[in-house]
Amino acid sequence: MQASLAVIGFLLGFLAWYMTGIWQWGLGAAILVCNWPFTLVAIMPVNNRLVAMPVDSPTDELRILMSKWIRFHAVRSALGATATIIFVWAMN
């Protein structure tokens, strides 16, 4: 669901930029769609390693991977929040 919402937000932001010429719409759209490659390049390998690990006993590797996962998701949240702020800015 998040992926489709990011694409819809990108398309609508790009359309708003195209129709109004207000550059903030295009910037917000570009930042919003950055979640896709970031997810594929950074988060997906960590997710795959986490899924492959046994859950019966936590290890140092598991703790390190979970720490990475948390930081990566914070980046995704920051990208979405930044795009939202820029979209609000574009409305003014």
Structural contact between residues 9 and 24, judged by C-beta atoms closer than 8 angstroms? no
> Mind listing the pLDDT tens digit for each residue in 48-80?
999 998 878 788 999 999 999 999 999 999 999
Distance CA 55, CA 62 (A): 9
Query: Is the model's pLDDT at 1 over the cut of 90?
Result: no
Range 24-36 average pLDDT: 95
Q: How many CA atoms lie within 13 A of 10 on its CB side?
A: 14
With pLDDT > 90 as the criterion, what percentage of the chain qualifies? Answer: 80
DSSP state for residue 92 in the 8-state scheme: -
Range 22-28 average pLDDT: 97
- pLDDT band of residue 6 (cuts 50, 70, 90) is confident
DSSP state for residue 43 in the 8-state scheme: I
Label residue 78 exposed, middle or buried (CB < 10 Å: 0-12, 13-18, 19+). Answer: exposed
